[in-house]
Amino acid sequence: MFLLIGEKSSLMRLGNGPLVRLKVRAVHDGCWSTDERIRSEMRILDFRIMSDNRLRMLMLIDKEDKDTLLDLLKKTYNLFIVNGISKYGRDKLIISFIKSIQEISVPKLIDQYHGFFLGSIYKNGIEEWNFVIPAREVKVVLSNMNLIMSRMEIKADDYDPVSVAALNSQELEILNTAYELGYFDFPRETDLKELSRRLNMSESTVSYHLRNIERKILSNILKDYNRGLESKVSEE
């Protein structure tokens, strides 16, 4: 059940403490997403925060909304550059673009507070954001979202991808060592050779285990995400 908060109420990093999965549905006040000319559902597939206050985004849209959407985005942002447009299925398009970032934006908040983006849907003037965030950052993230959004509905659940991904003790040791040495940092603070030396394993063995760990965690995330999609379809 969603929690209603008033009338106007990225990249998970292991080690940041207990995690919470948030699903936020709201009207983004003054945003192009509320424009009635957008007729079909749109999905944000991925985003990356870039330098110079810019954001790269991948969006899945209905091809009939392409011209209207591009016009809205050009008028909304100081910087808007289309990198590419590709067909997806019979009537969908994937648009890759770069845009300037507003002072407060949901992607910026997810990135700034060490979140992990799971997906976003825009439909009928409502934005739905699905992401994981460290528990200690939930209050500040929601407070900032409250500044730009109204009619917020929030669902929060505990989230522990490691335990539910059923990692064994060896995998947990490898994952913890890799994290502590900065293997997942960008740029990396250590390489596979040094990680293998610290674990007293061959590089091929460590590489195999890392791929298996990633597969387990990602599989769990995608199962959770797909359950959410199935639930949404059944509600409709």
pLDDT above 70: residue 233: no
Number of domains in the chain: 2
Is 221 domain-assigned? no
> Do residues 44 and 150 share a domain?
yes
Q: Which pLDDT belongs to residue 74?
A: 93
> Do residues 33 and 111 share a domain?
yes
Is 232 domain-assigned? no
Q: Which pLDDT belongs to residue 114?
A: 84
Q: How many C-beta atoms surround the C-beta of residue 211 within 10 A?
A: 10
> Do residues 21 and 102 share a domain?
yes
CA distance 223 to 4: 26
Q: Which pLDDT belongs to residue 88?
A: 87
For residue 167, what are the domain limits? 163-216
Q: Where are the beta strands (DSSP E) in the chain?
A: 3-5, 19-28, 42-50, 54-62, 80-88, 92-100, 116-123, 126-134, 149-159
31 burial level (CB within 10 Å; 0-12, 13-18, 19+): middle
> Do residues 167 and 134 share a domain?
no
Report which of 4, 50, 51 is spatially closest to residue 27, judged by C-alpha positions. Answer: 4
Q: How many CA atoms lie within 13 A of 121 on its CB side?
A: 14
Task: Give the mean pLDDT of 102-118.
Answer: 89
128: β partners: 25, 121
> Do residues 90 and 170 share a domain?
no
Lowest mean pLDDT among 101-105, 121-125, 158-162: 158-162
Given 159, 180, 197, the domain boundary residue is 159
Place of tokens 């669902």: 155
pLDDT above 70: residue 230: no
> Do residues 171 and 119 share a domain?
no
Is 230 domain-assigned? no
> Do residues 139 and 173 share a domain?
no
pTM given for the model = 0.66
Is 89 domain-assigned? yes
CA distance 53 to 164: 36
Q: Which pLDDT belongs to residue 9?
A: 32
Element containing residue 189 per DSSP (H, E): none
Is 83 domain-assigned? yes
CA distance 19 to 10: 13
**Tokens (6 digits) for 223:** 């199962």
> Do residues 73 and 182 share a domain?
no
> Do residues 83 and 109 share a domain?
yes
> Do residues 41 and 144 share a domain?
yes
Is 234 domain-assigned? no
Is 223 domain-assigned? no
> Do residues 42 and 87 share a domain?
yes
> Do residues 105 and 183 share a domain?
no
Is 99 domain-assigned? yes
Beta-sheet strand order (sheet of 116-123): 3-5, 149-159, 19-28, 126-134, 116-123, 42-50, 54-62, 92-100, 80-88
